[in-house]
């Protein structure tokens, strides 16, 4: 899911995001004050409504830039009513207060909402077209293009959890040029090893499985490269040597995640470790649970 996808869906179907607002589209990427606004609407009172879109967690830097931009628009158009709405997947509470005190409306758009609207209108995500060209990849863990992920005998399956308030998992899964990443190991370090499978789980209100990965190294202390470390929300978390494994994403589910509530209702998954106790980073998955989840993945 690209930022452009979110922008397109809002522009095409504003009533799904802003019910009864009566927004009419003026355009996308409209030049205002020397900067291109993501979306510009007119409302029922003929007022200009600007919508800015940020994928993932709204950063401190992005918050400051939005406030600066809004101030510039007000200065350039002192006699016009201009309202700015900021949309992001996750907006930390303190940043929401900061922006709303500056007169900017904030709206969180969860991935499930975006995915459901896309399905409703048969909208195809732009990165799905790219994925179709790169899915001719066969590895020992399965044939990705056929939707199968097979476990090598003797290896195990784990859930690797990310907290989006600490780590911007949305953009980490979407932006990195390589499918290789590193992941913290805080438990089961004597059991997790090369050849295992990791189900990448995002915690929070839309918790669930967002990717499938192969573990490609045994746990060791390492510092991730800067292009990966930047996704830590707190700069103090960056550049630290930690016990990690390297992983390779073999199936990205960010456009169609398997959410917690769906997993809860699947027979045979009632005892899935992360559904019973969600604190931590690494959780074991039994062979029988993996067989059920694997069949679900094939249907996506």
Q: What is the pTM of this model?
A: 0.78
pLDDT at 132: 52
pLDDT tens digits, 140-156: 334 443 345 667 777 99
CA distances from 129 to 125, 178, 284 (A): 7, 17, 33
pLDDT beyond 90 at 159? yes
Give 10's Cβ-side CA count (13 Å radius). Answer: 30
Top-tier CATH class for 135-299: alpha beta
Give the model's confidence band at 135: pLDDT under 50 very low, under 70 low, under 90 confident, else very high.
very low
All structural domains of the chain with their residue ranges: 3-118, 135-299
pLDDT tens digits, 229-260: 989 988 888 999 999 999 999 999 988 899 99
**Range in 171-175, 184-188, 238-242, 262-266 the model is least confident about:** 171-175
pLDDT tens digits, 40-83: 999 998 889 999 999 988 988 889 989 998 988 888 888 788 89
Percent of the chain that is helix, strand, coil (3-state, to 5):
35, 30, 35
Question: What kind and span of H or E run contains 51?
Answer: strand 48-57
- Do the Cβ atoms of 246 and 192 come closer than 8 Å? no
3-118 CATH fold: Trna Endonuclease; Chain: A, domain 1 (3.40.1350)
pLDDT at 119: 93
């Amino acid at each position: 899911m690209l930022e452009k996808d979110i922008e397109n869906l809002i522009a095409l179907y504003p009533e799904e995001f802003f019910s009864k607002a009566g927004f009419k589209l003026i355009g996308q990427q409209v030049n205002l004050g020397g900067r291109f606004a993501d979306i510009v609407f007119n409302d029922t009172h003929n007022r200009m409504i600007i919508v800015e879109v940020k994928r993932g967690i709204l950063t401190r830097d992005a918050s400051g830039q939005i406030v600066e931009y809004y101030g510039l628009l007000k200065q350039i158009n002192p006699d016009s009513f201009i309202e700015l709405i900021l949309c992001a997947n996750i907006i930390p509470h303190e940043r929401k207060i900061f922006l709303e005190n500056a007169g900017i409306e904030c709206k969180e758009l969860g991935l499930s909402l975006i995915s459901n609207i896309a399905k409703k209108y048969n909208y195809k995500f732009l990165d799905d077209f790219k994925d179709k060209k790169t899915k001719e990849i066969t590895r020992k863990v399965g044939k990705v293009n056929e939707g199968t992920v097979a476990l090598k005998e003797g290896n195990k399956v784990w859930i690797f959890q990310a907290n989006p308030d600490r780590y911007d998992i949305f953009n980490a899964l979407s932006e990195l040029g390589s499918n290789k990443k590193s992941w913290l190991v805080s438990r089961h370090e004597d059991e997790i090893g090369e050849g295992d499978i990791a189900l990448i789980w995002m915690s929070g209100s839309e918790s669930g499985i967002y990717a499938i990965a192969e573990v490609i190294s045994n746990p060791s202390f390492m510092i991730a490269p800067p292009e990966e470390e930047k996704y830590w929300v707190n700069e103090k978390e960056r550049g630290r040597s930690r016990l990690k494994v390297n992983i390779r994403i073999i199936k990205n589910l960010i456009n169609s995640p398997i959410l917690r509530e769906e997993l809860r209702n699947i027979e045979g998954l009632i005892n899935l470790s992360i559904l019973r106790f969600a604190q931590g980073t690494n959780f074991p998955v039994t062979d029988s649970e993996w067989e059920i989840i694997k069949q679900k993945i094939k249907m996506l």
